[in-house]
Structure 1
Amino acid sequence: MKVLTIKRAIISLLLPASMLLAMTPSAMATETSTRLKAKLNAVQGFSADFNQDVIDADGNVIQTATGTLAVKRPNLLNWETKAPDETLVVSDGETLWFYNPFVEQVSAFNIGNAVTNTPILLLTGLNDKAWQDYKVAQISKDEFRIESLSEDAQVKNLHLLFNNNDLVKFTVEDATGQLSHFNLSNVINTPLPAAALFEFTLPEGVDFDDQR
């Protein structure tokens, strides 16, 4: 069993063409990153259901899953896969917890180090230093791609699709070329997710791997 690596607000108007022509590639990349962060900052949190399809490098569907996702700024995450296998990923703001009930194992990581292989944490409001390890490209008005600059990252790309201010789909591409498509439904921005979702208590009797 393994935890699939994984596990959103942008201005609605593009920059005028005259401004784009005047910008260097570095300045354009910075501006794109700023627009994405501004869009994310506009939403303080949300909860949603998800359906996941895992596609291998040859385009074959090798797994499907369902679950729930909750994000709250700053740095809080609850990602629960409910079927076909149960897994739980929780960020309490300092530690990222991975819990696999089937094998009774918990792993804990410092949130600042975990973002490399769990870039969805960028959605929760990590500081600017964390964003320096990524290149952001705007594909269309409502689409962005976050690409890792680290050669050792297990997750290479995170593709985000919005409907206005709501994240409706994201895709994770790993180092092997495998894609995980997450389609979100029942997105709720108000009220914000409950604080209890972002608390994790170590279950008794589990194998605990502390990587902090």
Structure 2
Amino acid sequence: MKEELAKLLQEMERKAEEERIPIMQPEGIAFLCSYIETHHVRSILEIGAAIGYSAIRMASLDREIKVTTIERDQKRYEEAVAYIAKAGLEKQIQILEMDAFDFHSEEQFDLIFIDAAKAQYIKFFQQFRHNLQEDGAIITDNLEFHGMVSGEVEIKHSRNLKRLVRKIRGYIAFLQENEEFESEFLKIGDGIAISRRRKGQKEDLLLERKQ
């Protein structure tokens, strides 16, 4: 089974490279999987399934892990469904074809993974922070955006790219100034942020849930 899964993941990686489908870089997905194992994460909400690569990687770590993942693009959703079935992970991965902003649930997750439309990162964070367990974390990918956010790579001849980079920088500032969450920024893969509730905010959250 492990060999079959490895072959499937390699197939997905080739497809992503050939068709320019955004999936996590090797260092990034390795870190994410390590975080899940180290922190005994069992419930995950993923915003942005693409073809299901990261959902499969996360769910395959442990049979007790449950992943709810959202994808609005019909073609990618259908591809993700097929890959999840090939991996034999239908019981662990629930994939929803919808706009993430239309997803409303009271369910609490150990981990929320944001890897969708980068221009909407702040809105995603604000909407789904209520679905985070008291000691959970929100992990965001692509904060370096191929070196463009830090300025290591020059952005040429593209207003859209410049606008997107400004949005990502705005999200980083939002995390840095956030009074509810404390964020750690890691230069791993394409840039990752780990956001956890500050201690006082955890206590306030518990009081809110008791009322």
Specify if TM > 0.5: no
Structure with the bigger percentage of strand? 1
Structure with the bigger percentage of helix? 2
- The higher relative CO (CA closer than 8 Å, separation ≥ 6) is in 1
* Superposition TM-score, scaled by structure 2 size: 0.25
* Superposition TM-score, scaled by structure 1 size: 0.25
